[in-house]
Amino acid sequence: MAAWILALIAAVGATWSTARMYRARREAYGASARAELAERQARAAEARTLALTEEIRRLARKRIPAAATALSHRAVPVPGLREAAGIEGEAARLLTEAVQAARTAVLEERGRVDAAARSAMRGTSAKIQSLLNQSQHLLQELQHEYDDPRILQLDFRNELALRRTQATAVLCDAWPGLARQNSSLVEVVLGAQSRVAGYERIKVANHLRQERLALVARAAEPLAIALAELLANATAYSHPDTEVPVTVQQAAGRGALILVDDAGIGMDDDALKRARALLAGPSEVLLTELGDPPQTGFAVVGRLIARYGFSCHIESSPYGGMRTMLRIPAHLLTVMDDDRTLSVLAPKPVHARAAGATAGSPEPAAAPAHAKPAAAAPVSAEPATPAAPAPASTPPVPAGTAPRAEGAGRPAGLPTRRRRAPRAASPETSATRQQAEDEPALRTPEQAGAAWAALQEGALGGRKALAPPAPPAFPSDDRGDDET
């Protein structure tokens, strides 16, 4: 009996021991699994922390600087999240918002800095422009007193500085600083030409149907500034030995058109796209977006376009470089009064010169009704050479000699042509021809300048006979005609 009790106790103890061992093993296995899970979670958390840290470092070192650079250079790529899979959605969203916030802050700061720079440059430009205008008036007085070509050279340098100052003022949203009356369109073109360093290469062709077509007062000076910038761009980016043709045309009911062509190096697609964007007249152009050094030509034209209503387009030129087309709407044009005289340097319309050139011919050929000047091939602004007049009479035929037929010796029946008998010129024809010979020929700008220099030289000689003044000393340079 005792043996059975002992055996039962041993069996119960073995069972309990086995169950305890099994429970211990299960607890150990669970603890091991929990430890492994905690370790994996810790490693995942550490990986996420490292990824987030790396993205924050990338945000500070690459993404925000690239986003700021892309505001000025749109071709610069802005990198995104590199470890997007290892970052929670909320963190990724916050990182993207940080880039946008940085862009907004940079834009606002650039706007404030640019506004301060514009204000400073506007005030400085106004003061410099006032001083240059005073210098210009003084130089004009000196030109009437002294016949020294160096004064003209100094006046030209003053014009160049004044154009630069005006362009800076316009770019800073200032007034052009010069008020005009209604001005002839061709004279405005010549005035813009006189403000460019390579003015002698610019050849103006006048294709206007109305010789006295003019710009209204409020648009005269802005158009002169814009055209001077386009001419300066054409002369600066083309070879010094090439010409820059300028064609002034008139469109029926749609205003006027000024074409500026050059045979320069042209523009690539990116530069052409940028130029067209500036010429479209954007609402705002930051000074920091114009490069270093700033290239302000197209930006100045765009500001004037947005303010005064004309338009400009740029494309490839048949001369190999670029062509800019400055369109003037009809509401900015008018007709000058007959009592106002035009400048002698202004080129006459092509059709008027052609009519004057054929006036001395006894039998002028009629031009086709459909013929008109082509816009793509501007003609020269020089006056056409008159045709040589026909002789008034032919040599007399000796008495008793019959005129010989040109068809003598030919077979009978063929038509022959005989010389006509000489015809005396009528008094009206002789008077018309004499009047045409007595009329002075159209003078070129160089001839007009030489005549003006001769007049000044004669006046100076007369003054020297009384009291020779001491000529002032000015730096030497070359200058052609002054601004009309």
pLDDT at 225: 92
Average confidence (pLDDT) per 10 residues, the chain, 484 residues? 76 81 84 86 82 82 84 76 63 83 87 87 88 90 88 90 89 80 90 90 90 88 92 91 91 84 88 90 80 85 90 90 92 83 77 53 35 34 36 37 38 43 47 48 60 67 53 38 37
pLDDT at 285: 80
User: Could you count the other beta carbons within 10 Å of the beta carbon of residue 199?
Assistant: 22
Q: What span, in angstroms and rounded, lies between the C-alpha atoms of 216 and 279?
A: 22
Cβ atoms 402, 419 nearer than 8 A: no
Q: What span, in angstroms and rounded, lies between the C-alpha atoms of 277 and 293?
A: 19
Sheet of strand 256-261: strand arrangement: 202-207, 244-250, 256-261, 322-328, 311-316
pLDDT at 385: 35
- Structure tokens, 239: 């070879």
Q: Is the bond preceding 293 in cis, omega lying within 30 degrees of 0?
A: yes
Give the domain ranges of the chain: 12-87, 180-359+480-484
Element (H, E) at 133: helix 89-145
pLDDT at 461: 65
pLDDT at 294: 81
Q: Which amino acid is at 29?
A: Y
Tokens 């800019």, residue located: 324
Give bridge partners of residue 313 from the DSSP assignment: 325
Give the DSSP letter string of 196-241: STTGGGEEEEEE-SSTTEEE-HHHHHHHHHHHHHHHHHHHHTS-TT
- Structure tokens, 381: 């602004």
pLDDT at 259: 94
Does the domain at 180-359+480-484 match CATH 3.30.565.10? Answer given as yes
What Cα–Cα distance (Å) separates residue 38 from each residue in 27, 29, 32, 34, 88? Answer: 16, 14, 10, 6, 20
For the chain, the C-alpha Rg in angstroms (whole number) is 43
